[in-house]
Every structure is written in C-alpha cells, then in structure tokens.
C-alpha cells in the first residue's frame, strides 16, 4: 500500500527569457532570426495565399526548433519530460477546467510553457484552473468566441480536451454530442487556421473502436463506434486528417479509456460521476451506501469486468510528449493487462480502511468482459513510460485528493 503523495509540482523559479530560452545553439539563433526578419519584412508583400503558407511554415519552424532542442537535451533520460522545458511555448488548452485538462495544464506550466485555458465551465470548475494560467471563459460552439480567443492568444499549439463524454447521455441526445464535439471542434480548427496555429493534440477515446474482438486494442483495428460519443470523436479525428491533408495542420490523436488518480492540486469531480474509482471512494466517504458490480460471471479470472485505468499524471505526460514532438497520427494509451472491478474494490478497502459494501447486479447490455488498450506504439514512438502503473498508487492518490476535498471543488 502506498502512503503519502510523492508528486509535487512546484512552480519553477524562472526569469523572463526569450521564447526559446536564454542562449539557444547558434544554428537555432540564425534560423529563428532569419525567420523573424522574413516574417516582419517580406511577408506583407506576398499575395494572400502565399502569405498564409509562409506564415504556417514560420510557425511550424518555431515548433520544430523547440522540439529539436528538447529532444537533444532529453534523449535517453528514461523520463523525457520531467525537467523544465527551456523557454517554452504558449499552449491554448480547451477544457482546461476539467479533470484531464486541469492536470495537463498544471504539468505544462511546471514544464515552463505558457497556458491559456478556454472553457465554458458547463462541466468544469473555475477552481480547477491553475492560478498560473490565463483563463478565458468561452464556448467552442460559439465560433466568434473561440476565434477571438485564438486571435488574442496567438498560441504555438492547441491541446483539445473540451467535449461531452457520457456514453448513456449520447445515446439519449445524439444531436447534443455532435453539436458540441464535432461542430465545436470544427470551430476550433477554423480559428486555428485563421491565425496560423500549426499543431493540435486531440484527446480522443478508445470508444472509436467500438467492441473489437482483439485485445489489447491496437491502432490498426477498424474503428466502428457503437454510440454517438465514440462516433463524435471519430468524426473529429477525420476532420483533422483532412485538414492535415489539405491545410498541413499537424495533429496527434490520443485514444484511451479511464483516467484516474490525482495530483496534490487537482482531482476528479464530475456531476454526475460515472467512473468506478471515485464512486467506490464515495462509499468510503459515506456519500453512498454500496458499490454495484454489474455481473460476476464474465470470462475473467474473478468473474468481474476488466478495464484499463491510467494515472492522470501519466495521461497528461503522454499529451505533453505528443505536443513537444513532431510525430503525427493516432496513439493508444493503456496500462498493461487492466484491472477488474473486484480488484478495484479490494484495493480501495485496503487503502481507505473502510469495508465498502459491494453488491452484484445484473450485467449491463453490451458490456464486454475486457477493454484494454495496447500502448506499444506510444512506448516506441512517443517514448511514453507510465510512472504510476500500479492500481494501489492510482487509488491512493485519488483517495488523498478526495480526503482534502470531500465535497469536490467549490461550486
């Protein structure tokens, strides 16, 4: 059992420095100086179409300079992005007041990046926005709001977390999901194009695969979503692929299942809460009487469903690796063989010291026995290696946060 909380993310003491650090290598100084002079002197004289292409080339070059310097400094360290990133980039984070977005913003700031959070606070929390970030209250479904925010921020890249993400709700109101997740996403991409932002990291989902027969899931599997939530994420992936093909927009998709755990500052607070680990911990807190386990006769070692859980810090680190690199395409994120519902309850009992009554309920229609994502490609190409793969660590960190915030974030 893991005690305490090993993660601390103090804001590094930093002086104001040029965007790419105090003293970049001479080849980077020369390239950036040339690009800056071209951008300021020659670009206005170009025709509109040439101006757009040149501007995109310039911004893409800035991103590659930063990435090259990071790769050269961090090669073969085993933990690629734990040290501060010299003279970081400016990143616009949509959904940065939500669970995954808030933790990713925290780690981006710890790395030395600037963060602008764009969130409508419909399902996020103002208190979940890191105080070091700039907050913009806005809705992606309003094209004017995101266009203005993008124009003001002029970010180097975008991390896109903002989305509705409840499968059952999507089945009841598909239009709401397509309007928010697809149309809102298109508004975001058009706003990026208007100011020449060259790169986006999209937080997607393994729900785009539907219920594949092969486990663990690989990126080569056909994508056949079985609900509007998964379909809406897949549609936005396709939009990004076309913008890559026709507009040279760099994009990375990260597909995964269940984020869990917490940092000292930020944790999981949804309304309603549909995830297993926080609901188990609610019983230990006295907020609920028991845990319902839907089926105990599956073809698994203990009869209960097996699911993939990733520590929120490891998930955020994967997004940052995708941001700071130059790779494109889809990457699955998973955590080995997964954990069963009974394993989650057992370890939560040990950590909390609470009995946590559990009751077996009938199976839910369509629930597969196992849902596990294979992460070999992410390990190989992103250099992603989870720091907190153990279920006990994940639950301990979540429990620590819920004890400090028994009622979640201030409402």
Strand ranges of the sheet holding 370-371, from the earlier edge strand across to the other edge: 339-340, 306-307, 370-371
Host H or E run for residue 192: helix 184-195
Handedness of CA 245, 246, 248, 252 (dihedral sign): negative
User: Which of 85, 177, 209, 229 is an active site residue?
Assistant: 229
Do residues 210 and 74 touch, judged by C-beta distance below 8 A?
no
d(CA 211, CA 209): 6
Q: Cα–Cα–Cα angle for 53, 58, 60, nearest 5°?
A: 95
Q: Phi then psi for 409, rounded to 5 degrees?
A: -75, 155
| Residue 134 bridge partners (DSSP) | 116
d(CA 278, CA 400): 12
CB burial of 51-86 (b: ≥16 within 10 Å; e: otherwise) equals ebebbbbbbbbbbbbbbebbeeebeeeeebbeeebb
Host H or E run for residue 99: helix 99-110
Whether 229 is catalytic: yes
**Positions marked active-site:** 229
């Amino acid at each position: 059992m893991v005690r305490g909380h090993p993660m601390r993310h103090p804001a590094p003491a930093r002086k104001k420095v040029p965007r790419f650090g105090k003293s970049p290598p001479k080849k980077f100084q020369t390239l950036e100086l040339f690009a800056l002079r071209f951008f300021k002197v020659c670009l206005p004289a170009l025709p509109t179409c040439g101006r757009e292409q040149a501007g995109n080339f310039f911004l893409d070059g800035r991103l590659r300079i930063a990435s090259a310097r990071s790769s050269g400094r961090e090669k073969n360290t085993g933990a690629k992005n734990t040290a501060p990133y010299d003279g970081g980039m400016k990143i616009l984070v949509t959904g940065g007041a939500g669970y995954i977005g808030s933790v990713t913003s925290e780690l981006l700031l710890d790395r030395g990046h600037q963060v602008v959070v764009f969130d409508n606070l419909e399902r996020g929390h103002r208190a979940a926005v890191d105080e070091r970030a700039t907050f913009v209250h806005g809705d992606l479904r309003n094209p004017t709001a995101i266009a203005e925010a993008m124009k003001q921020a002029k970010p180097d890249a975008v991390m896109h977390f903002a989305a509705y993400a409840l499968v059952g709700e999507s089945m009841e109101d598909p239009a709401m999901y397509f309007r928010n997740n697809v149309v809102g996403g298109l508004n975001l991409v058009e706003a990026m194009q208007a100011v020449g932002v060259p790169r986006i990291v999209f937080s997607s989902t393994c729900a785009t695969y539907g219920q594949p027969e092969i486990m663990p899931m690989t990126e080569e599997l056909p994508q056949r979503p079985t609900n509007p939530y998964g379909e809406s994420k897949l549609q936005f992936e396709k939009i990004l692929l076309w913008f890559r093909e026709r507009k040279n927009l760099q994009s990375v998709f990260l597909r995964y299942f269940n984020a869990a755990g917490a940092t000292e500052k930020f944790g999981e607070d949804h309304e309603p809460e549909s995830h297993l680990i926080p609901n188990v911990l609610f019983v230990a807190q006295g907020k609920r009487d028991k845990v319902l386990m839907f089926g105990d006769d599956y073809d698994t070692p203990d009869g209960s469903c097996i699911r993939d859980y990733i520590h929120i810090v490891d998930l955020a680190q994967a997004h940052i690796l995708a941001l700071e690199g130059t790779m494109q395409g889809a990457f699955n994120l998973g955590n080995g063989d997964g954990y069963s519902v009974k394993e989650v309850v057992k370890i939560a009992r040990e950590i909390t010291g609470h009995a946590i009554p559990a009751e077996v309920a009938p199976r839910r229609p369509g629930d597969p026995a196992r849902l596990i994502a294979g992460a070999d490609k992410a390990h190989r190409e992103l250099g992603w290696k989870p720091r907190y793969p153990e279920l006990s660590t994940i639950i301990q960190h979540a429990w620590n946060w819920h004890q400090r915030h028994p009622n979640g974030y201030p409402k």
